[in-house]
């Protein structure tokens, strides 16, 4: 293995020269923490644990030597050039000598987001939006280089805290609406909200970990059900960027669900005579009329 690794390392300059023009496959990247295909600030700085898994296939080069290997590395430049060939490119190796086993596909998992982004040679900042390129490269039996490339966004934008209006009372529910707000209080850049999370608790209580409602932007309202009429509740709303960066908390508003008459209740309260269920009175006569006709039609169709 050591001689092959040495040979591969010797080949890296050649690999680098070819890589700019020989992107021949795709790397698929998956996060352990979520599936939004973006690394947010908390995942970047390690305050939320997140690991990456990679699968790739190099498509053009079909003659993969049985004893060959893949090298997996991160780049901040499209096309995955190595820093040895492009002065502006920064790269860091995730893993080398991943055996090909004669296949054009490979996989690698368990890579800590925060550790790889802060590797020596890379200059990613958790507060600067970037695209992280992941590259899997190998050399086929003819000596040509094949490089599969994938990317994942570094989302450094933080949406402003929403501004929540007084909730409208509903029946065992509160109607909550808000505007997107304009103040950024986190360390990120100003961002656009991709979704909102609404949290509800009884007045003065701690807000739960899980939201009572999640709303996708551009909608800015939600109906939170499952509440008790006559009980005062507190409501707070957070905005989330596409990568999951959470805004500061909105203003906290309070509201009390009350009984609401729907149309049926209004009708009955007005003295309406309909009671629901299947029809009354001569309805049976209708059924008697319809049934023979349907039976007759079926009978005539039979040979």
Partner 1 sequence: MKRVLAALAALALAASARAEADPDAQESSRFGSVELRLSGYRPNIDAEFGGLATPYHDSFGGRRGWMAKVGVSKEWYHGFGTFETGVSAGYWEMYGHGHYSDGSVAADSTALKVIPTSLMFTYRFDWLAERIGIPLAPYGRFSLERMNWWVDRGSGDTTRSGATNGYSLTGGMALLLDFFDPTLAREMDRDTGINHTYIFVDFTKSKIDDFGSSHSWDMSDTSTTLSGGLLFIF
Pick from 2, 206, 209, 282: which binds partner 1 (CB under 8 A)? 282
What value, to the nearest 5°, has the Cα angle with vertex 89 and ends 85 and 92? 100
Minimum CB separation of residue 271 from partner 1 in Å reads: 7
Q: Which of residues 98-157 bind partner 1 (CB under 8 A)?
A: none
Judging by DSSP bridges, how do beta strands 145-154 and 91-99 pair with one another? unpaired
Spatial CB neighbours of 232, under 8 Å, sequence gap ≥ 6? 202, 203, 254, 255, 256
Judging by DSSP bridges, how do beta strands 145-154 and 23-31 pair with one another? parallel
Residue 175 touching partner 1 (CB under 8 A): yes
Residue 6 touching partner 1 (CB under 8 A): no
Pick from 143, 204, 218, 271: which binds partner 1 (CB under 8 A)? 271
On the CB side of 130, CA atoms within 13 Å amount to 20
Cα–Cα distance for residue pair 165/181, rounded to 1 Å: 12
Among the listed ranges 74-82, 120-128, 178-186, 289-297, the one in contact with partner 1 (CB under 8 A) is 289-297
Structure tokens at 33: 């923490």
Residue 171 touching partner 1 (CB under 8 A): yes
Structure tokens at 259: 């009984």
Pick from 87, 120, 142, 269: which binds partner 1 (CB under 8 A)? 269
Residue 187 touching partner 1 (CB under 8 A): no
Minimum CB separation of residue 169 from partner 1 in Å reads: 7
Residue 206 touching partner 1 (CB under 8 A): no
Pick from 62, 166, 280, 295: which binds partner 1 (CB under 8 A)? 280
SS3 276: coil
Place of tokens 């390690």: 46
Residue 262 touching partner 1 (CB under 8 A): yes
Binding site for partner 1 (CB under 8 A): 168-173, 175, 223, 225, 258-267, 269-283, 285-286, 289-290, 293, 297
């Amino acid at each position: 293995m050591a001689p092959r690794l040495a040979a591969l390392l010797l080949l890296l300059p050649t690999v680098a020269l070819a890589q700019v023009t020989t992107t021949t496959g795709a790397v698929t990247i998956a996060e352990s923490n979520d599936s939004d295909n973006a690394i947010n600030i908390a995942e970047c700085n390690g305050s939320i644990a997140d690991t990456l898994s990679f699968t790739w296939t190099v498509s053009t080069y079909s003659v993969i030597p049985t004893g060959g290997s893949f090298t997996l590395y991160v780049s901040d430049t499209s096309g995955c050039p190595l820093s040895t060939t492009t002065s502006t490119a920064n790269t860091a190796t995730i893993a080398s000598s991943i055996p090909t086993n004669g296949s054009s596909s490979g996989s690698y998992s368990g890579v800590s987001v925060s550790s790889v982004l802060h590797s020596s040679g890379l200059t990613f900042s958790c507060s600067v939006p970037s695209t992280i390129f992941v590259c899997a490269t190998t050399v086929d039996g003819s000596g040509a280089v094949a490089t599969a490339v994938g990317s994942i966004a570094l989302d450094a934008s933080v949406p402003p805290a929403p501004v929540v209006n007084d909730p409208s009372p509903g029946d065992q529910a509160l109607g909550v609406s808000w505007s997107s707000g304009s103040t950024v209080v986190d360390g990120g850049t100003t961002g656009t909200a991709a979704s909102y999370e609404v949290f509800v608790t009884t007045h003065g209580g701690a807000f739960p970990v899980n939201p009572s409602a999640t709303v996708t932007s551009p909608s800015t309202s939600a109906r939170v059900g499952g509440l008790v009429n006559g009980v005062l509740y507190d409501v707070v709303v957070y905005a989330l960027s596409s990568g999951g960066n959470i805004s500061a908390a909105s203003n906290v508003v309070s509201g009390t669900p009350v009984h609401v008459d729907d149309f049926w209740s209004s009708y009955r309260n007005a003295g309406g005579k309909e009671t629901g269920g299947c029809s009354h009175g001569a309805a049976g006569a209708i059924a008697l009329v319809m049934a023979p006709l349907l039976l007759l039609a079926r009978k005539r169709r039979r040979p």
